Amino acid sequence: GTWSMDAGFNWGRLLNEAPPAHGYRMVFDSESGVIVAFGGDDFEGPLLNETWAFDPQHQTWTLMAPVSSPSPRGYFAMSYDQGSDRVVVFGGPDAETWLYDYNANSWSQASPAVSPPAREYSAMTFDSVTGSNILFGGLTAAGVPLGDTWAFDSRKSVWELLADSGPSP
């Protein structure tokens, strides 16, 4: 579904009733018409592993509380895979890849044979031409900048290294 933010959209409600976190990530699930948010922290405590959904038509946040979730994390990469209708999460404290199905309210861990190294502060987006989630850069736990680009095919559960310029200067 599609939606627009007309004059009746309440930005204050979106921001004031949002999960109290920073370091989280959000993506728009275009099939379900909701914004999915995950992780981060509440400025006062440890990292969270909460999954939230914002329904723009009703302007409401819902704590989804799936049975299982990725471990708590912040500053990871997240994208919405239109081909498989899944939210894809990679990185944070580890090199795990997780998939979230909003309709089933369930997380599943992917088990690719090869994965990018663990990282934070990377970026990921869905490429509708190739049907892959493209991951770029980030920082290692030691703070070393990364200059690699990876593609994740969620249907095959396969990561492929596309380019690696080595550590960024």
pLDDT at residue 26 is higher than 50: yes
Which has the minimum average pLDDT: 13-17, 117-121, 165-169?
13-17
Least confident of 9-18, 58-67, 139-148: 9-18
Q: How confident is the model at residue 11 (pLDDT cuts 50, 70, 90)?
A: low
What pLDDT digit, counting tens, does each position of 118-138 carry? 999 999 999 999 999 999 999
**How does residue 20 score in pLDDT terms, banded at 50, 70 and 90?**
low
pLDDT tens-place string over residues 33-50: 999 999 998 888 899 999
CB 95 within 8 A of CB 116: yes
> pLDDT band at 63, cuts 50/70/90?
very high
Would the pTM count as exceeding 0.75? yes
Joined together, the tokens standing for residue 61 give: 């946040």
pLDDT tens figures, 84-100: 999 999 999 899 999 99
Distance of CA 90 to the CA centre of its chain: 7
CA dihedral sign, ordered 130, 101, 62, 93: negative
Q: Is residue 5's pLDDT more than 60?
A: no
Nearest to 146 by CA among 161, 132, 158, 160: 161
Amino acid 1: pLDDT: 45
Residues in a beta bridge with 145: 139
Question: Could you tell me which of 122, 134, 68 has the C-alpha nearest to residue 91?
Answer: 122
Copy the structure tokens of residue 78. 């997240």
Please determine, for residue 55, whether its predicted confidence score (pLDDT) is greater than 50.
yes
Strands (E) across 30-165 are located at: 34-38, 51-55, 60-63, 77-81, 86-90, 97-101, 106-109, 123-127, 132-139, 145-153, 158-164
